[in-house]
Chains A and B, each alone.
Chain A
Amino acid sequence: MIDIVSAENLPKADGIDSHAAASALKNFVIANDGAAARAGSKKKGVLLYVPAYEFDDGVCQELKRAGGALVFSFADVLRQKGFRRAIILSKMRLALAQCRRGGCAFAVATLAKNDGEIRNARELVAFAAVLGMNPQEKKIAEESAEKLVTR
């Protein structure tokens, strides 16, 4: 399993074959608003990360057309607490439902900035399950991360 992280030289956790630094990936796009998400989704093979997890349905359709994937970050959950954590999880679930409707791929990663945010493969799979991914979708999430990172 490949994990995408936000810093370099972080220790590898159990079940993680390799880390890919987001800054080193040419196809990793961070979209801070709707317009940026729409523009980023048109890039071929893009790994689109929208920290707010709010975007319109057109983004998913564009992602499907461009063969890209939406990135769900574990660190976003970890950095929040209590009610705010519940809100971000809810937004992620809605974003996943949008991806299903639009037919685009998705990926799960830690996007860790330090070694305290590193999580093992089992925990990433559990994160995917908690978001509501079925076994087939979990496989899609794993495969799309591997495919798009090694592009």
Chain B
Amino acid sequence: MKPTERFKKRYVAFVLTVEGVAPLAGEAKQIVHEHFLSFFGESGVSSLAFKLIKYDEKSGKGLVRCERSRADETIFCMACLSEWKGKRARMESTTTSGSIRRAE
């Protein structure tokens, strides 16, 4: 596939906290995946080109990939996370960029 035919990517950096503390990597992955799946649905996630690129459990900082035209929806989806299994949770988007290095 030609590079011009591939989907255009955006990388959105975020900070994830549950009760004010950064969750462990496994739990964070579960939170992010389940929240995106519940918000967009299976079809939505597939067309979003979503992927959790990285997550640092010490700082709670992470990076997700999405389709360029749907970056706003991705940020809104992150902002809609307010609780996780009865605990207060927050997924705050910090920066958006077309490259992983600039988004970090």
Contacts and interface: CB of A to CB of B under 8 A. Distances in A.
Nearest to A13: B92
A130 B76 contact: yes
A70 B96 CA distance: 29
B82 A123 contact: no
B25 interface: no
Given A116-B88, A116-B90, A120-B92, A126 B72 contact: yes
Given A78-B82, A116-B82, A129 B76 contact: yes
Interface string A97-131: 00000000000000000001101101101110110
Contacts of A78: 80, 82
Nearest to B95: A122
A104 to B, nearest CB: 23
B93 A123 contact: yes
B53 interface: no
A28 interface: no
Contacts of B90: 116
Contacts of A85: 80
Contacts of A117: 82
Given A129-B72, A130-B73, A123 B79 contact: yes
Interface string B16-35: 00000000000000000000
B76 A123 contact: yes
B72 A119 contact: no
Contacts of A126: 72-73, 75-76, 79, 93
5 contacts: A119-B79, A122-B75, A129-B72, A129-B73, A130-B73
Interface of A: 14, 74, 77-78, 82, 85, 116-117, 119-120, 122-123, 125-127, 129-130
Given A82-B38, A120-B93, A122-B93, 6 more contacts: A116-B88, A117-B82, A119-B79, A122-B96, A126-B75, A127-B76
